[in-house]
Structure 1
Amino acid sequence: MKIYYLNGPRLLRAILAGSDSVINKTEYLNKINVFPVADNDTGTNMALTLQSIIRALANSSPGSIQDVGNIVADSALMGAQGNSGVLLAQFFYGFAENLNGKSKIKVKSFSKAVNSALESSYQALSKPVEGTILDVMSAWANEIEISSEKTNDFQELIANSLEAAKIALADTPNKMKLLADSGVVDAGAQGFVYFIEGIYKYLSSGTIEPPPTEFADIEVSHPKIDMAPENIKYQYCTECLVIGTSISKYDIKEDLLMIGDSLIVAGSKEKIKIHIHSNEPDKVFEHLSKHGTVSNKKVDDMKAQHLAQFENMENNDIAIVTDSSCDLPDAELKELNVHVVPLRINFGTDSYLDKITMSTGEFYNMFEMADTPPTTSQPTPADFKKIYENVSKISKQIVSIHISGAASGTLQSAQAVSRNIQDTVVTTIDSTTTSIALGLLVRYATELLRDGKSYDEIIRLTRKMVPNTDIAVGISDTMNLIRSGRVPISKGVITRLLNLRPIITFDDEGKGKPISVSFGKKGILSKVFSIITKHSEDYENLRFAIVHTRSSKLAKKLEEKIKSHYNTEDIYIIEASAALGAHTGMGALGAAFIGFPKK
């Protein structure tokens, strides 16, 4: 039976059929994903985007084809995931714009809408690349335009254009060397062909293939790719939604092009979906906040996803995980291959991921301007589950070392899911401390790993080193401790009146407690130095670290005193993470050491 028009119900069922066709091939698309990064998620991203459309259509009763188009475009934008998902959303947006005022369309109007969608997709990209989904979209749209002059039957139109799309798909390796070297076609392009195939099957048979209840292990030759995380220039796949008025896509592109690549800006003047690969997600969100309200933030670590594909590699049997209260320099965390679960930073109703969607520097900038002080909250069990499952693809034994369980619920969140990671052993360790002391302990654990120690030895020796680690932090402004309830109001008022500055440490149970006081801000440095030297008297092979909150000059002076006293260069300085800084406020200064008891 020939089909001479599409109305709302027909387009709805065609979209559902195309979506289910892609969802059925999710795992296959993941396995052939090598561009722009071999992070094994193209199928998942396309499926999640299309599932958002399916849910929206199921929860509405669209009448005209315009209604269906608008629902599809808006739900795709809201649920878009990844490079391919955001590009699909923009395609649907361009398509929907040509359905305004229409209850049904014929082939020539359909051709106009498809080619408008193609143009819209190209405009969304900062740097279109050959050999991708755009090539297939272009070939499909071109054949739609040609065939619309020869036939008025949608079945014939889609059949002809599907063949053109398949030819373009097969040609993607000829246009991109990475695909040719890997022995695959572009995953996003393949997904788009599956989408058109689903539509064709529906138009020719009237049936929609249901998605599977679970995915079988699809037989496919794995792409020929090497484990090379160092080749990933930009680490974080960063996405968000911007809502405002008269948003300029051009201005957004100008703002973001210098801090990442794979930029896609999709949507309308009132609602924009952003996708970019960047090393500075916090700066991405900061730039975008100038254009409207930023929400639906999502940050994925593509290096971790890339590494997760290489199972059973040598020297990857054991992994170290910590949380973002661990103050080690970023470069060292990366070099040591430590996986970090971010705490959340809260400024009023706005929430950020520590050191991912908000850098430490940006935290203090906002802190200085905030009317009310920030708070931090522990990662959720789901946050830990995501990290553990990613890591478990390459390491079946995980040592997870965290901020004091008595000071934060972070350890409890880790323990809640540590026994539920399939085929993986996760052991949590309570550091009974935080910040640089936790950093020194995590560094020690990584050195045990590099020295070839077994999993059990790493756990035993790291736990043995916990009581051999100490920290002392002088607090210049006690107001935040009072507001958080960690210092009673009465004591806080007295210390402020007497110009006393508390020096805080952690006891054997991991509870923060005042150990001394200094008179005035100037006395903090000498008091911290005095406590650290006294507490380290019974230890040897000492290593040190210094932490501060916007007190870099004092930190440098403290470093010089420690270097001179111990004749050591084994020391680093770092600005405190939000987990510590939110409680200490500005002007804090601290030091920590780790060492072995003298014999």
Structure 2
Amino acid sequence: MRPAAMKITDVLNGQLWKQMMVSGAKALEIKKHDVDALNVFPVPDGDTGTNMFLTIQSAARDAEKITGQSIGEVAAAASMGSLMGARGNSGVILSQLLRGIAKGLEGLDTANSLQIAQALQSGVDTAYKAVMKPVEGTILTVSKETARAALTRAKNGGSLLETLQEAQQQGFKSLAKTPEMLPVLKQAGVVDAGGQGFLVILGGWIAALSGEAEELDFVSGAESPPKAEIQEPESKQEFVQVENLDYPYCTEFLVKGKDLRVEQIKQDLSGRGDCLLVVGTPEVVKIHVHVKNPGKILDYAIQWGSLHQVQIHNMLEQNENMAHAMKEKALAADSEPLAEGQELKEFGVVAVAMGQGIADVFISLGVDEVVYGGQTMNPSTEDLAEAVRKVSARQVFILPNNGNIVMAARQVKDVVQDCQVHVIPSKSIPQGIAALLSFNSEGDADTNIKNMERGMSSVGSGEVTYAVRDSQYGDLTISQGDILGLIEDVIVTTGKLLFEVAQSTLEKMEWKTHDLVSIFYGEETKPEEVERLQDWLQEENPSIEVEVHPGRQPLYYYIFGVE
């Protein structure tokens, strides 16, 4: 059922802001594939629109849960939703924009045009601070010019609608200039995808504000976005003795009330279990904790307000099928069984993998939890946070293994409080493996970070995939369906034959000057192609070690590592 159209107003309350958020999400849902198509590289990972949509949808969904009329309360909920649902760099930047907007609206029941414009500026300031090396010609520039125009119009007496319309018009002018700011955009003949996605969302806000949201064919309560699949590989054997699990009940719920004190609740629950997460606003708080007695936690929480979405899982029951596998592995490794009451281990590792075979390699090297994702399927901050909370360690290292996941991984620090999170900014599978091989469970965190980053930098990474559209990239004329070779995410060669492009990619990686070549072949790569490539390497230089693994990754025929 379509929602009632909003009346044009010069004052926004929480209910109207909620409708604008949902309308913005629906607008991007309609246009997400157009935004995806603005990908600079013609490789099958153009997912900016999809990532931004899933992020804003998560924000809108959390906003819809708020029953109050306060715009500050709804904006805070949307901010938290976007934080947990953020996917990819574009989604993380969008979540930071919404976070800053929430800061600007904090404590307000309603907001006029000037306050909305100031909140937009707060969003821009927050987003710029969140990016380590801000690049102009991106969503940052577009949002900055948008906020600047909004402030100017609002200060000159513009209404809410006029303010946002002026902001959007200036945003499109800024978007049109992005190819002049970033040569890579000009070369590809596209504008910045993130900036385009932001303006689509802003268009949804304007449509809702002007009473035209129904033209978006909008449906409230859309289905949840597909989560990056976090499944247990068949070869994984967990190191958890079921009978020694001190806090067997995973307890998660929402508390709704007034004047909820997040820090006080966090302090009161500290020490009552492990994997504690307490986040939220003065009106709604999300609690996640592993405990011995869920009843005591619920009895405590109900003093603050009403309980909602209560979920309790018996982890003893969930894990008992793995107990025998753990014991067998402990015996095979000639290691002593865990002592009863043993404390958490000091370090744990979470890694992102884009194929079952790659996941198996990480697990064999000691990774505790694998999050499945990569190109076209970036895991969200929440996906990564869930994996971190599963690791029984005081400190957890995250290996994103993809440049588009690093920012989402860094946000995990904001939502996981019961352990220390370290992000090693690996941008490829070979980098992640090299970092992991440099990890020493007996060392301290600072030394491990230095060693892992040093190890990561010692490996060269290459990939072979295919072109999803015609394109001109530098001196390369690319046709849809061509085979592409990339080194460190830069297209270096193209052709019609997989073997020839794989050869060319490796040669440009100067593989003969290294000691080891690692090959992870994809789910669509034929065994005879792999064997042919391996034979060529051994014939060309028999002294170099060649490791071949069935990575089973989608979209990419090969992933290469040289070191």
Larger radius of gyration: 1
Higher relative contact order (CA 8 A, sep 6+): 2
TM-score by length of 1: 0.44
TM-score by length of 2: 0.47
